[in-house]
Structure 1
Amino acid sequence: MSATLHYFNGRGKAEIVRLSMAAAKVEFSQVDITEKHQFEALKTEGKLVFGQLPLVEYEGNNLVQSCSTARYFAAKGDLLGSNEQEKLNIDILFEGTRDFNSAFIPYGFAGFKEVLDNAKQTVIPKYLPVFNSILSKNGSNGHLVGSKLSLADLGLLEVSLTIEELLGEDELKPYPEVQNFLKVMKSNEAIANYLRSDLRKKKNDERYVAEVQRVLN
């Protein structure tokens, strides 16, 4: 059974959900929420517990809250670890990637240059050395925990791709383990298929920002 994602016509907080579905090999389509009446209809139908997107309709469930939804699909794809210690480490590191990624979510909404300047000056120097060190210590050729793909990897993949796209690949050069990690992730067939598909949305631009604001205000 395929899933249906309801979200704005961009990446935003739904991107980690898309990555988790892709990695778990769950087929999905997206309904782009571009008009206020679409959003209001979902709320009226009681599908948005907290009145927020993203929403994924799957097997009779209305899945909301992006991290919970990502974990749900990661569990289906056996991406949460092979034992209790791995599960704990994956969850800790995944939450760390969410803190890291949150610096880029306002891109466009809080300015374009302003968000990137803040990321370069304070956020990247805080997080990338940590993840570079963890990758080096794990020594598993491109995975944060254990020897296979996990939800923590998907979280770091999302923010690494963002850095590469918005700031350029040179921003990752001081972190060779992260560079290798990104290469390994891109070689994963399921992830590669998603990244080159129409389901992969474009980076935020002025059109997208205006569209989201129109829906929400």
Structure 2
Amino acid sequence: MADSKITVTYFDFSGRAECIRLVLTYAGKEFVDNRIKQEQWPGIKPKSPFGQLPFVEIDGKVYGQSLALANFFAREFNLYGKSNLDSLKIDQLAQLNEDYIQEVVKVFREPDAEKKAAIEKNIKEVVAPKFWAFYERLLKENNGQYFVGQSVTLADLIAYDAVTGFIKTYAGPLPDSYPLLKALVEKIGSNNNIAAYKAKHP
């Protein structure tokens, strides 16, 4: 994998591709960050294995499904824990975060402006605090510093994206009442690779 040529194709925002990008970035693996415009998608869609974005090309072969790809790269770059139980804990948080995402994407599916506003209010006042509390508790149950073990794993990068990525548009900034989660986000954000990446793609 160290010598593999990797291209990540997605739109020019965080969304479903961000965890893939974060894993590769944190690991220091060079990749082509192919950010396309909405109007380019119809022409590119036939290349996608399932008619979806993101998709990733690895040495000329194309693969889909964002979570599967993030998991794969995490395993390749030793960010998937040290045991099957560690991997279970990472998968648990990943699936929990999927629940969070599904709550947020309701905004995009609602055409009525008044109902959309109500959904956005619920995300900020109810949904986001609920999931932030889940993340805070999981950190406390481990060691307060990481979700799994004694070092950064995919779980930490997923939570970092949940706080700093597209969800932040609707959830707002993380309050000080979640100190463990806030400290983790700051720690991930201060990594040299991540900091350089976020400077280019805030």
CA 86–35 in structure 1, closer or farther in 2 if over 3 Å, else same: closer
Per the TM alignment, residue 155 of structure 1 is displaced from its structure 2 partner at its CA by 0.9
Q: Percent identity between the aligned chains?
A: 29
Partner of 1:120: 124
What is the one-letter code of the residue matched to 2:16? K
5 Å-filtered alignment, 1:70-149, equals: 70-105=70-105, 110=110, 113-141=117-145, 143-149=146-152
Q: Distance in 2 between matches of 1:64 and 1:81?
A: 23
Alpha carbons of 1:51 and 1:115: their partners in 2 closer, same or farther (altered >3 Å)? same
Which of structures 1 and 2 has the larger relative contact order (alpha carbons within 8 angstroms, sep 6+)?
1
Provide the residue aligned with 1:39 in structure 2.
41
Q: CA deviation at 1:34?
A: 2.1
**Alpha-carbon RMSD:** 2.5
Query: Could you tell me how far apart the structure 2 residues matched to 1:76 and 1:26 are?
Result: 11
Residues in 1 aligned to 2:118 and 2:13: alpha-carbon distance in whole angstroms: 20
For 1:156, the aligned partner's letter is: A
Which residue in the other structure is 1:195 paired with? 198
In the alignment, the residues of structure 2 paired with residue 18 and residue 191 of structure 1 have an alpha-carbon distance, to the nearest angstrom, of 10
The whole-number CA distance in structure 2 between the counterparts of 1:42 and 1:194 is 25
Match of 1:12 in 2: 15
**SS state at 1:103 partner:** helix
Question: Structure 1 196/109 Cα, relative in aligned 2: closer, same or farther at 3 Å?
Answer: farther
2:192 and 2:38 map into 1 onto residues whose CA distance is 34
SS in 2 for 1:159: helix
**TM-score of the aligned structures, taking structure 2 as reference length:** 0.82
Q: Which residue of 2 aligns with 1:23?
A: 26
* 1:161 and 2:184 are equivalent in the alignment: no
Q: How many angstroms does 1:168 deviate by? A: 4.5
Secondary structure in structure 2 of the residue aligned to 1:5:
strand
Shift of 1:166: 5.3
TM-score with structure 1 setting the length: 0.77
Unaligned runs of 5+ in 2: none
Equivalent pairs counted in the alignment come to 194
| Aligned pairs (5 A) from 1:60-79 | 60-79=60-79
* Distance apart, 1:4 and its partner CA: 1.6
Distance 2:128 2:62 in 1: 35
CA distance in 1, matches of 2:15, 2:168: 16
CA displacement at 1:115 relative to structure 2: 4.7
Structure 1, unmatched stretches of 5+, are 203-217
Q: Secondary structure at the match of 1:62?
A: strand
Greater displacement, 107-116 / 123-132: 107-116
Letter in 1 for 2:50: F
Equivalent-residue separation in structure 1 for 2:127 and 2:22 (angstroms) = 23
